[in-house]
Chain A
Amino acid sequence: MRAGPADEDAALLAALADGDLAAMRRLYERHAPWLSARLLRRCNDPDVVADVLQDSFLALWRGAERWRGDGEVAAWLWGIAVRRLVSRLRGRRAAVVLPLEEEADPGTAPSAEEVALLGVEYGDLGSALLRLSPEMRAVVQATVLDGLSTRQAARLLGIPAATVKTRLHRAKAHLRRELAGGLA
Chain B
Amino acid sequence: MSTSTGGWHADEDLLSRYVRGDAGPVAAASLEQHLLRCASCRDRIAAHVPVPLLDAAWERVRDEAVAGRPRRLERLLVRLGVPAPDALLVATAPSLRTSWLVGLVVTLVFVGLGAAYGGDRGLTFFLLVAPLVPVAGVAFAYGPDADPSHEAALATPYPATRLLLLRTAAVLAASLPPVLLAALLVPALSWTAVAWLLPALSLTAALLAASTWVRPTVTAAALGAGWTAAVTSASRAADPTAVLAPALLVAYAVLGCLALLVLALRSRSLTTLGSPS
Contacts and interface: CB of A to CB of B under 8 A. Distances in A.
A29 B30 CA distance: 23
Interface string A102-123: 0110001011011101101110
Contact of A37 (B3, B48, B66): B48
Identify whether the interface residues of A are mostly helix, strand, loop, or mixed. helix
B264 interface: no
Nearest to A50: B57
Contacts, number: 139
A54 interface: yes
Interface string A1-34: 1101110000000000001010011001111111
B93 to A, nearest CB: 20
Interface residues of B, number: 47
Given A37-B48, A40-B21, A49-B53, A145 B65 contact: no
Nearest to A53: B57
A66 interface: no
Q: Which secondary structure characterizes the binding site on chain B?
A: helix
A180 to B, nearest CB: 21
B6 interface: yes
Contacts of A83: none
Interface of A: 1-2, 4-6, 19, 21, 24-25, 28-34, 36-38, 40-41, 44, 46, 49-51, 53-54, 57-58, 61-62, 72, 74-75, 78, 99-100, 103-104, 108, 110-111, 113-115, 117-118, 120-122, 126, 129-130, 134, 137, 141, 145
Contacts of A99: 21
Q: Which 6 A-B pairs have the closest CB atoms?
A: A5-B39, A33-B46, A114-B26, A117-B30, A53-B57, A50-B57
A96 B177 CA distance: 61
B65 A117 contact: no
5 contacts: A19-B72, A34-B49, A37-B19, A37-B49, A118-B29
B244 to A, nearest CB: 45
B35 interface: yes
Contacts of B167: none
A1 B1 contact: yes
A120 B123 CA distance: 83
Given A40-B19, A120-B6, A33 B30 contact: no
